[in-house]
Amino acid sequence: MNKLNRYLPDQKFLILLNRFILRYDESDCNKEKIVKDAYLFCVGYFLKYQQDYQNPYLKGPSNIIAVLSSALLSPNFYTIPSTVSLERVLYFYKFIIEYIIWNEYEVERIFATQKQSLTHSPELKSDDFKVKKKV
């Protein structure tokens, strides 16, 4: 992940999503599983790294559509190194969007569950990092 730190958040998101999709693609998963898990990846990434971009007027899954679309339409999209081919992300983009639109309750439940698990996760709270002394 250190090599990715030189990229902007939207570039990093697309590069990681591309790696995620390629790994699933190589393991011969069916398209439906790739799409569902890619959505889950997008939610996790959004909640962990891009929650500051959340639009309060959109429902959770709609924020995923906004962030994904924004990353693909960003001028930074063209500055991603040529060694990273985003063909698979572009191919699966439409299926991820369709999945979000046609499965409203399922994607909302997934988003809410992930958000709740992230906010209640003790290892993600910075004030909980304390060294315990052995007595």
**Per-residue pLDDT tens for 47-82?**
998 888 778 888 889 999 999 999 999 888 888 888
Closest CA to 42 of 21, 24, 73: 21
For residues 30 and 128, the model is more confident at: 30
* Section 83-100 average pLDDT: 92
State residue 135's pLDDT score.
40
Residue 28 has pLDDT above 80, yes or no: yes
Average pLDDT over the chain, rounded to an integer:
85
Rounded to whole angstroms, how far apart are CA atoms 103 and 97?
A: 10
Residue 133 has pLDDT above 60, yes or no: no
State residue 129's pLDDT score.
38
Which residues contact residue 132 at a Cβ distance below 8 angstroms, ignoring those fewer than 6 apart?
none
State residue 130's pLDDT score.
41
* Section 27-32 average pLDDT: 91
For residues 119 and 97, the model is more confident at: 97
Confidence of residue 126 (pLDDT cuts 50, 70, 90): very low
Say what angle helices 60-73 and 9-26 make with each other, to 10 degrees: 100
State residue 123's pLDDT score.
54
Question: What pTM was computed for the model?
Answer: 0.83
